[in-house]
Amino acid sequence: MSRSILSRTLVGLVFASVLFANAASAKHDESIIEVDNKSQGAGEIKFKFTPVGGEPQEIKVGIIEKMQPSEIARDIMKAFDLALGDDYQVKMKSDQSVSIEGNPKVKDREIKFAIAIAGVDVPGVSVVIK
């Protein structure tokens, strides 16, 4: 590989990683987690949740083989609801999606947050955050 192609490739990779880091750290009032496809094996989905001014928190969801997307979404909702408490509203947005938003009753601090997928170790399952 020539030096100029290698340099352009490295610049492209650095640029892409900066874009990804900025997207992952963006703060939101609401996020939607969407699940597609039935699990083809057991595993775990990990999320990284970071409230503004707070410490990152890892939220893990155990998945068993042959779970439907609606069952996976429901387990994600339960895990986030338990982990986040009253500061956030966690509910089913549709059969295969979960909505997470700051609780409007919390007025003494900012309720924005960043959420990212830290890992999906479940064959066949696709998870997207919007």
Largest CA distance in the chain: 59
> Tokens 């990804």 — which residue?
20
pTM of the model: 0.78
For 33-82, write each residue's pLDDT tens digit: 999 999 999 999 999 999 988 899 999 999 999 999 999 999 999 999 99
Q: Which domains does the chain have, with CATH numbers?
A: 27-129 (2.60.40.4390)
Residues 71 and 61: their CA atoms lie apart, in Å, by 11
